[in-house]
Amino acid sequence: MHDLHLFTHFIKGSLLAVASGSRGYYIWLLALVILIALGANAYGNQLTHGLITSHMRDQVSWGFYIGNFAFLVGVAAAAVVLVVPAYVYNWGPIRDVVLIGELASVAAIIMCMLFVTVDLGRPEFVWHLIPIIGTPNFPHSLLTWDILVLNVYFLINWFIATYILFMTFSNRKYNPRLVLPLIFLSIPFAIGIHTVTAFLFTGLKSRAFWHTALLAPRFIAGAFCSGPALIFLIFRVLRKVHRMEITETALFKIGELLAYAMAINLFFVASEVFTEFYGQTSHSVHAHFQWFGLHGLSSISIYTWVALCCNVLALIIFMVPKFRLNLNILTLGCVFSFCGIYIEKGMGLLLPGFTPDALGEIYEYTPSLNEVTVGVGIWAVGALLFTLMARVAIAITAGDLRIRRA
Amino acid sequence: MGIFRRNKQATGQAKGSQKGSSRRDFLKTAATVGAGTAVGAPAIASALEFDFETFMQKNFRELSDEELKGVIERLERKYSEKYGKDVSVSAIGPMDGVLYGYGLDISRCIGCRKCVYACVDENNQSRDPEIHWIRVLEFERSEALRTINLEEGNPYYEHEKVPAEGKFYVPIACQHCEDSPCSTVCPTGATWQEPDGIVVIDYDWCIGCRYCMAACPYGARHFNWGEPNLPAEEVNPDMHILGNKPRARGVVEKCSFCIQRVRKGRLPACHEACPVGARKFGNLLDPNSEIRYLLEHKRTFVLKAELETNPKFFYFWGTEGRS
pLDDT tens by residue, B200-245: 999 999 999 999 999 999 999 999 999 999 999 999 999 999 999 9
Q: Which of A136, A205, A353 sits opposite B188 (nearest CB)?
A: A136
Chain B residue with minimum CA distance to A65: B209
CATH number of the domain that residue A43 is part of: 1.20.1630.10
E strands, chain B, in order: 88-90, 100-105, 135-140, 167-172, 191-193, 199-201, 222-223, 238-240, 252-253, 279-283, 313-316
pLDDT in tens, A48-72: 999 999 999 999 999 999 999 999 9
Q: Is residue A403 part of a domain?
A: no
Report the residue count for chain A.
Answer: 406
- Spell out a b/e string for B237-249, using b for 16 or more CB atoms within 10 Å of the CB, else e: bbbbbbbbbbbbb
Instruction: Inform me whether the pLDDT recorded for B57 exceeds 70.
Output: yes
End-to-end Cα separation, chain A, in angstroms? 17
- Band of pLDDT at residue B15, cut at 50, 70 and 90: very low
Q: Quote the domain boundaries for residue A145.
A: 11-397
- The nearest CA of chain A is from the CA of B40 a distance in Å of 32
Instruction: Inform me whether the pLDDT recorded for B28 exceeds 80.
Output: no
Instruction: Inform me whether the pLDDT recorded for B140 exceeds 70.
Output: yes
Structural contact between residues A198 and A215, judged by C-beta atoms closer than 8 angstroms: yes
pLDDT value of residue A240 = 84
- Spell out a b/e string for B10-19, using b for 16 or more CB atoms within 10 Å of the CB, else e: ebbbbbbbee
Using 50 as the pLDDT threshold, list the residues of chain A that sit under it: 406
| CA separation, residue B167 to residues B140, B214, B314 (Å) | 5, 30, 20
Strand partners, B280: B103
Q: Is residue A386 part of a domain?
A: yes
pLDDT value of residue A82 = 72
Q: Is residue A405 part of a domain?
A: no
Give mean pLDDT, residues B57-85.
95
**Cβ separation of B151 and A356 shorter than 8 Å?**
yes
- The nearest CA of chain B is from the CA of A132 a distance in Å of 7
**pTM, to two decimals:** 0.90
How far is A250 from A237, CA to CA, in rounded Å?
15
Q: Is residue A180 part of a domain?
A: yes
Across chain B, what does the average pLDDT equal? 86
Instruction: Inform me whether the pLDDT recorded for B169 exceeds 60.
Output: yes
If DSSP codes are grouped into helix, strand and coil, which group holds residue B297? helix
pLDDT value of residue A91 = 64
How far is A105 from A194, CA to CA, in rounded Å?
13
Q: Is residue A293 part of a domain?
A: yes
Chain A residue with minimum CA distance to B210: A61
**CB < 8 Å from A in window 239-258 of B:** 248-252
**Cβ separation of B185 and A136 shorter than 8 Å?**
no
Give mean pLDDT, residues B77-95.
96
How far is A192 from B142, CA to CA, in rounded Å?
49
Our count of domains for chain A comes to 1
Chain B residue with minimum CA distance to A206: B217
CATH hierarchy code of domain B94-323: 3.30.70.20
Structural contact between residues A65 and A71, judged by C-beta atoms closer than 8 angstroms: no
- The nearest CA of chain B is from the CA of A60 a distance in Å of 8
Instruction: Inform me whether the pLDDT recorded for B74 exceeds 80.
Output: yes
Strand (E) or helix (H) holding A80: helix A64-83
Instruction: Inform me whether the pLDDT recorded for B264 exceeds 80.
Output: yes
| Helix, strand, coil share of chain B (percent; to 5) | 35, 15, 55
Interstrand relation of B100-105 and B313-316 (parallel, antiparallel or unpaired): parallel
